[in-house]
Structure 1
Amino acid sequence: MTPPTEPDPASPEAFEPRESDHPALHPSITNVPVTPGVHLTGQSAYIDPEDTDSTSKLPFDPEKATPGPSWSANSYFADKQQVQDKAGSTFEAGTAQTEKDTQQKMEPRPDESTENDLSSVDPRAAHPGLNLSGRIISATFAVPYNIGFSKGNDWELEPRRGTSALFDSFSYLASSSSPWNHTLVGWTGEISTAKSAGDLAVQPPVNKAAAPIPVDPKKPNPVPQQPTGLRIGRDDRVRLEKQLERDHGGKIVPVWLVDEVDDHKDEYVVKDQSRWRTFAEHELYTLFHYKQNEPEDGRAARKSWADYYRMNKLFADRILEIYNPGDIIMVHDFYLLLLPSLLRQRLPNIYIGFFLHVPFPSSEFYRCLSRRKEILEGVLGANMIGFQSYSYSRHFSSCCTRILGFDSSSAGVDAYGAHVAVDVFPIGINAASTQRQAFGDPEIDDRIKGIREMYAGKKIIVGRDRLDAVRGVVQKLQAFEMFLEKYPEWQGKVVLIQVTSPSSVHTDRGESARERIVNNISDLAAKINGVHGSLDFTPVRHFPQYLSREEYFALLRLADIGLITSVRDGMNTTSMEYVICQKDNHGPLILSEFSGTAGSLSGAIHINPWDLGGVADAINEALKLDDQQREQQHTKLYNHVVSNNVQSWTNNYLKRLMTNLSAFDQSFATPALDRAKLLSQYRQAKKRLFMFDYDGTLTPIVKDPQAAIPSDRVIRTLKTLASDPNNAVWIISGRDQAFLDEWMGHISELGLSAEHGSFMRHPKSQDWENLTETTDMSWRKEVIDVFQYYTDKTTGEFLRRDKEDCFDMALSEELNPEYGATSRLAKCPEAS
């Protein structure tokens, strides 16, 4: 992968850590297996002595920093019930700070049972050859808090909404229930100005019997404006890190993405904070959900890509600051697709897992991405890549074959001499925590009673979606309208309560698209209410607001039907939370087949959201189910959600990752070229040999082989290299002599090898040497006949003949390589 020029190559050392300064990069560490629990240094991360001194002189006591709010039990809502597990060796291991502590705390206590397999207590026991340290470093785009800054004061930390399943996974890894030590690395997110002590947040008006009612239903919630020009000093940065470190017994390491660094005052200057989201959310998220943006200024696209690359590089720098040999790195989602490769380039033996939480599109959509190769090459630096559903993993493998030319299968991709495993891991939710929150709270029971009184005698359909084009809210309303028209007997008896929460992903550079979605939803709701409603009945209640925890669970518990019509999503936690909340009511779930959870929830009624009549029929079918059918469907769904929770997802992923780490050695993969190292060795060497392939190296792979012409820059570079008497430069190609003479022959200092070594032209010579003239080629005719036989039977293949009657079977560049391989095996199975 050829990265773009970094925005600020002369950034200060304090902001861009030098790779060579990190002790984990020293060959004595990276080339020697490290025994678990034994550190080569006494610290878990590299700390500059000067940094230690300056930390001790801070004007506040870091140990007394105010800890952040808990997000352990459920990240989407603040959990009011904290359950403390029984203390034991597993609990002690969850609080361990080093690998040695982990081993000591893993020793069974006298009062604990020792019947369990050691691998169930310490997963490292099943894979001793990996020399695991016992720590997981999770890399996610942003920390689980919205952060408010006030110079010289404690930071304000509020739980971040969204990605609840992912945050629950982090919470589990950091808890006493997990045998792992856990460190979370994430961007601070957009830093806002802290609220003053007496300035309370303005809450939307709330109907005590139902959901929040917006002042203007056609006006979307305003996106909070982030301050520009914040200057954050070292004292405040350390204060935040101490606050985060004290949270939940785990460790959270923030990544500082800033615009400028004031060296004199040791301050980070934060200006345009949204820039770090632009490429991921505008380009990747949109295309991964089968949406294409309108063409725009190429300069803006180049800038957003440079920001995306720089962000991933800063994540890599931050991880390597705390990395110890034997740590496992878990990288999450589309914001950090380049991170695996950036880490692999600097630490070839590092253990990396990657999981994509959104869909991965088919190759027909993916190849529209301008940086398609760089993205694939970036994520292929991982040892294992996980997806939510099988179709997403199949699309990824297909893209690697069609775009990069790598061999792939359902099990993985063979890239750069290494095998990258590809697997499917449908994520779950924290079922136990969800059930604790949904039941037993008197306030939720009161909300349920009030809503039932409001809609007495009516069936309630509940939908809760993000305000996003891919969530299918418009299709849901259109289908509900058709349901009322197609089944008039239900008019006045069914109400749809639709909640649309603001999306955390901003896919558009402007707000026009978001406003169009809001207007479409509001207009549809008004139309349905005008046609099918009355003075005393409103069939559609639309609330474009966040819900409180009590209101949300009240709606899920009292609903008669859960309706999810997303046109594309990676996973849908609402569907699983609905199943948990329906343990008494047994309401059926209508789920879009385009949802990433559809393949897991086989007990749901699956629908195509584009088939409005089919959705209307499904609603009618769900309303007519008898109690026994409802209970059967719900039991199947409930058992799956409870058994396949986020804890089991985390454990299954890690176990599969360790199995693949033991089976495949990624360290033998062809490394990316280290230009700094190459330059250093070039200057030290007295004699240097360069051997360049032609197609794909000096020129890109093109459909027409005759169009592969070297650029002027390549010609000038080759001339410069070859003119040095200490350099020997050779071009090695399958091209014939005439082609190489035409484009490279004028550089007399070059050595040329044509037709895969059959002919050679030495430097400063015009004569070609035929290395095959004394070779017995009598067998050639029989081989050519066999080649021709299979070529005639395989669509798109042709027999290529070189100058000296050398033949090979070639695949047309226009032909799909997967189709060619399938066709060849189907028609000529013996050719394999």
Structure 2
Amino acid sequence: MPDAAKHHFVVVTGHLPVDPIPDGGDRVRWRASRSGVNAALHPVVARRHGTWIGWHGLADRQLGRFDWDGISVQPVPMPATDVTDHLGGHCETSLAPLYHDAVEPPQFDRRWRQAYRRVNDRYSRAVADIAAPGATVWIHDYQLQLVPAMLRVLRPDLLIGFFLHVPFPPIELFEKLPQRGEILGGLLGADLVGFQNTRSSANFCQAVTEFGEFRMDADVVHPNGRRVSISAFPVSVDAAGFERRARDPQTQHRAAEIRAELGQPRTILLAVDHLDPAKGIEQRLDAYHELLAEERLDPATTLLIQVAVPGRQHGAERPDAWTRVERKVAQINGLYSWITRPAVHFLHQALTPQELVALYLAADVMLATPLRAGMNVNAKEYLACRTDDTGTLLLSEGSGTAAGFPEAVTVNPYDIDAFKSAILTAIKPGNSDGRRIQMRAMRRRLREHDVHRWATQYLDALNDTAMRNRPASSSLAARVPLPMSRRTQPSTNCGSS
């Protein structure tokens, strides 16, 4: 086992990139978990031989460090009460709804906030114990927004970055948060706070200006004499990895099998989301239902595959959302299905990476239409898999992905009439050469801005911030190697949305 004091690159997330498979005894087997955060970070941590800290998914269970898929994994324990109050309460019932434009009304509870502080403190101490002097620590997402400031008190020698994968809300929503000052102070413990897009970074800057007592110059905040940079870094995917899977003959054979099993429909629409009101599944089903009812889509030639990936719900399972989606699917299938061909194939299950890529290859249109999202990773995975430049991407204006792919069909998912028109535009036979050119342009941009370039941009900016923060004579520890030679500047437009 390596020396626990020699971890120079540490990534910290609310959950580890694996889910436990208990075998009834003391041993635990692991399987890869499916989330946008994990999909983005796994290739980055593996390439840099980093250490990953997070909760292992088992309440009241202490586990030691282990290796998984080329990554050193350091579990953080979680009492059952904190699973309920921190994750199910404050994270999933207070913060997540608020940060997604209050699509669901957020609920607040003092007990949940206390649990949030306890868990963030536990993470901070876990990182402080294993990080090498001067190590780079990269903290992720809304579950751990207090960790940067807590960690800086414990280990002021560390280079601390934070990245928010969900949108940061406008000030009219953020001001409702009872602990808004504590959240801002927690995030400003980092050297660099990164967001998915300039709208979120501008919202954060406005919140700092409105509620903080810090001097601010453009995209730099000055808390207690330090410099904290604020910037946008749109997250991406391992484009080359998905291309390799998509070119695999077995994967292509499976994609052909899927179309055959579905009766060789002319058009397959695909959507992949967590079962969450912010993902817009209900609006998508409403638009599809009306198109069938108006006979503008033929269920004999068109079908929808809706994959609802099971999330890690901890006391906030949203039974009402589940019931509404289930009812809509049943209604559509009751009216428009054949005995052997449902109009909607609804899969509430976690798919293997191979099966997911086969679905991307089988689908003619990808519907990535959340009501609000920081970045739609599934949309970028779909693009990466379309190695023959076929297929059509329909994107929500509420996703940070839309700004980077103007060639895609875009829609306001709240506007059902516009949604219907966008679906028809996406499936309409048209200029196939023109569509291939558009797909080729999106795929080229994706390859140029893949997950490794995203990480390099962020870590370069983090190191640059550290150089400005520390005296020239100070001795900086060796930083994590950045294998990509091309240094690029992130978007820093803090003053516009």
Q: Structure 2 length as normaliser, TM-score?
A: 0.86
Q: Output the CA distance in 2 between the equivalents of 1:645 and 1:570.
A: 16
- Decide which of 91, 96, 112 is 1:280's aligned counterpart: 91
- CA gap 1:622/1:335 in 2 versus in 1, 3 angstroms: same
CA displacement at 1:490 relative to structure 2: 4.5
- Decide which of 246, 252, 255 is 2:73's aligned counterpart: 252
Q: How does 1:278-427 map to 2 (within 5 A)?
A: 278-291=89-102, 301-408=109-216, 410-427=218-235
Report the residue type matching 2:305 in the other structure: I
- CA gap 1:518/1:295 in 2 versus in 1, 3 angstroms: closer
Superposed CA offset, 1:560-595 (max 9, x none): 111122001122111011112222261110010111
CA displacement at 1:382 relative to structure 2: 0.6
Indicate conservation of the 8 Å contact 1:418/1:666, yes or no.
no
Q: Output the CA distance in 2 between the equivalents of 1:400 and 1:279.
A: 22
CA displacement at 1:174 relative to structure 2: 3.4
Indicate conservation of the 8 Å contact 1:565/1:609, yes or no.
yes
Q: Output the CA distance in 2 between the equivalents of 1:582 and 1:504.
A: 29
- Decide which of 520, 527, 534 is 2:324's aligned counterpart: 520
CA displacement at 1:381 relative to structure 2: 0.7
Superposed CA offset, 1:205-228 (max 9, x none): xxxxxxxxxxxxxxxxxxxxxxxx
- Decide which of 170, 185, 189 is 2:53's aligned counterpart: 185
Report the residue type matching 2:19 in the other structure: N
3-state SS of the aligned residue for 1:157?
strand
Percent of counterpart pairs with the same letter?
Answer: 28
Superposed CA offset, 1:681-740 (max 9, x none): xxxxxxxxxxxxxxxxxxxxxxxxxxxxxxxxxxxxxxxxxxxxxxxxxxxxxxxxxxxx
| 1:661 paired to 2:469 | no
Report the residue type matching 2:84 in the other structure: S
Residue of structure 2 equivalent to 1:33: none
Superposed CA offset, 1:742-767 (max 9, x none): xxxxxxxxxxxxxxxxxxxxxxxxxx
Q: Output the CA distance in 2 between the equivalents of 1:534 and 1:157.
A: 41
3-state SS of the aligned residue for 1:328?
strand
Residue of structure 1 equivalent to 2:16: 143
Report the residue type matching 1:521 in the other structure: V
Residue of structure 1 equivalent to 2:356: 552
Q: Output the CA distance in 2 between the equivalents of 1:501 and 1:419.
A: 40
Indicate conservation of the 8 Å contact 2:167/2:200, yes or no.
yes
- CA gap 1:319/1:615 in 2 versus in 1, 3 angstroms: same
3-state SS of the aligned residue for 2:201?
helix
Superposed CA offset, 1:30-79 (max 9, x none): xxxxxxxxxxxxx9556xxxxxxxxxxxxxxxxxxxxxxxxxxxxxxxxx
CA displacement at 1:521 relative to structure 2: 1.8
- CA gap 1:273/1:361 in 2 versus in 1, 3 angstroms: closer
Report the residue type matching 2:415 in the other structure: D
Return 619-628 or 554-563, whichever deviates more: 619-628
Q: Output the CA distance in 1 between the equivalents of 2:231 and 2:106.
A: 34
Superposed CA offset, 1:652-677 (max 9, x none): 1101111122123499xxxxxxxxxx
Whose RCO is larger (CA < 8 A, sep 6+)? 2
Report the residue type matching 1:629 in the other structure: G
CA displacement at 1:171 relative to structure 2: 3.9
- CA gap 1:187/1:515 in 2 versus in 1, 3 angstroms: closer
Q: Output the CA distance in 2 between the equivalents of 1:374 and 1:189.
A: 27
Q: Output the CA distance in 2 between the equivalents of 1:634 and 1:293.
A: 34
Indicate conservation of the 8 Å contact 1:165/1:428, yes or no.
no
Q: Output the CA distance in 2 between the equivalents of 1:417 and 1:496.
A: 55
Superposed CA offset, 1:506-543 (max 9, x none): 5xx454xx222222222222333344445565432222
Indicate conservation of the 8 Å contact 1:393/1:410, yes or no.
no
- CA gap 1:626/1:167 in 2 versus in 1, 3 angstroms: closer
Report the residue type matching 2:460 in the other structure: K
Q: How does 1:810-825 map to 2 (within 5 A)?
A: none
Indicate conservation of the 8 Å contact 2:243/2:387, yes or no.
no
Return 608-617 or 141-150, whichever deviates more: 141-150
Residue of structure 2 equivalent to 1:467: 275
Indicate conservation of the 8 Å contact 2:146/2:183, yes or no.
yes
- Decide which of 543, 568, 591 is 2:395's aligned counterpart: 591
Indicate conservation of the 8 Å contact 2:128/2:154, yes or no.
no
- CA gap 1:354/1:162 in 2 versus in 1, 3 angstroms: same
Q: Output the CA distance in 2 between the equivalents of 1:535 and 1:256.
A: 49
| 1:611 paired to 2:415 | yes
Q: How does 1:798-813 map to 2 (within 5 A)?
A: none
CA displacement at 1:414 relative to structure 2: 3.1
Indicate conservation of the 8 Å contact 1:146/1:190, yes or no.
no
Q: Output the CA distance in 2 between the equivalents of 1:394 and 1:437.
A: 37
Indicate conservation of the 8 Å contact 1:460/1:497, yes or no.
yes
3-state SS of the aligned residue for 1:139?
strand
Indicate conservation of the 8 Å contact 1:557/1:585, yes or no.
no
3-state SS of the aligned residue for 1:482?
helix
Indicate conservation of the 8 Å contact 2:9/2:135, yes or no.
yes
Indicate conservation of the 8 Å contact 2:149/2:185, yes or no.
yes
Indicate conservation of the 8 Å contact 1:438/1:553, yes or no.
yes
- Decide which of 422, 427, 433 is 1:628's aligned counterpart: 433
| 1:573 paired to 2:374 | no
CA displacement at 1:486 relative to structure 2: 5.2
**What RMSD in Å do the two structures reach over aligned CA positions?**
2.9
Superposed CA offset, 1:627-671 (max 9, x none): 11210111111112222111111111101111122123499xxxx
Q: How does 1:530-549 map to 2 (within 5 A)?
A: 530-533=334-337, 538-549=342-353
- CA gap 1:275/1:160 in 2 versus in 1, 3 angstroms: farther
- CA gap 1:167/1:631 in 2 versus in 1, 3 angstroms: closer
Indicate conservation of the 8 Å contact 1:483/1:613, yes or no.
no
Q: Output the CA distance in 1 between the equivalents of 2:341 and 2:90.
A: 45
**Structure 2 residues without counterparts, runs of 5 or longer:** 473-494
| 1:503 paired to 2:311 | yes
CA displacement at 1:249 relative to structure 2: 4.7
Residue of structure 1 equivalent to 2:491: none
3-state SS of the aligned residue for 2:133?
coil
- CA gap 1:596/1:410 in 2 versus in 1, 3 angstroms: farther
Q: Structure 1 length as normaliser, TM-score?
A: 0.53
Superposed CA offset, 1:160-183 (max 9, x none): 4223554553443333xx4xx522
